Amino acid sequence: MSSSTLDLTVLHIAAARLGEELTPAAEQAFRRYAQLLLEWNQRINLTGLNEWSEIQRRFLVESLGLLPWVDQACVQSPACRVIDVGTGAGIPGIPLKILRPNLSLTLLDATAKKVRFLELVVRELALLATTPIHERAETLAHDPTHRGQYDVVTARALAHLAVALELTIPFLRVDGLALFPKGPEIEPELRESQRALEILGGEIEAVEPMPLADLVGTIGTIVVVRAVRPAPPQYPRRPGLPAKRPLR
């Protein structure tokens, strides 16, 4: 599919509702990103979505809904650092980067073929200060060049909230924000994640409906967690253990 045939009407509407404008450069970047995603998805199954209309709504528009929280976390940080954990095809990290080019973005995934795709996207879109990394979060979070170094961490469809907290909070500086797009029925996960929050030094900042739900096509929730103290040094535990034995 040619990038010129990709209709960005819904994305334009979503941006306008957020007070944003898609510049010609941003529009071109979104088109090329979408074209690459659709092409690669036929070969390596980047995502379960194959239709452009669904990708635009469920991936790109939903990602834009995180922008207000990203801006809030970055307001006092000129060189704002964001890490997208379990980024997969680059969601929500790449859409956020396209609209906020000054972000310093790390795209983390444990699947090598997805990271190769992300490396291509970074080259094709000429995304500066954007680094795909092939590693597990349980390992990278103990690297001193990444631990406690980020203003924002995002994780979409990564795991149960208790698990996702262990895999993300250690990346945050104190007062940084973790952003978790979730489904509508979030109360059980919130209850089951209280112990993880207490252990890891996080506090719930907000639980609010996902913006632009009518455009996305599904009702969702954003869970925002603030890091109020550094995570204990033993967390996250060794690879696989957070999912096998969640902190509940």
pLDDT for 247 equals 94
pLDDT at 77 over 60: yes
Instruction: Give the model's confidence band at 2: pLDDT under 50 very low, under 70 low, under 90 confident, else very high.
Output: low
Overall average pLDDT of the 76-105 stretch: 94
Q: Mean pLDDT over residues 163-173, rounded?
A: 97
Mean pLDDT to the nearest integer, 20-37: 94
Give CB contacts under 8 A, 24+ apart, made by 239-246. 239/136, 239/138, 239/139, 240/138, 241/138, 242/138, 242/159, 242/163, 242/166, 242/167, 243/159, 243/163, 246/160, 246/162, 246/163, 246/166, 246/192, 246/196
Residue 48 pLDDT greater than 90, yes or no: no
Residue 183 CB-half CA count within 13 A: 7
185-242 pLDDT tens trace: 899 999 999 999 999 999 999 999 998 989 988 889 999 999 999 999 999 999 999 9
Query: Residue 46's pLDDT band (boundaries 50, 70, 90)?
Result: confident
The domains of the chain, with CATH numbers, are: 65-244 (3.40.50.150)
pTM for the complete prediction? Answer: 0.95
Q: Where residue 23 falls among pLDDT bands split at 50, 70, 90?
A: very high
Q: Which residues in 100-120 are b (16+ Cβ under 10 Å) and which e?
A: beebbbbbbbbeeebbebbee
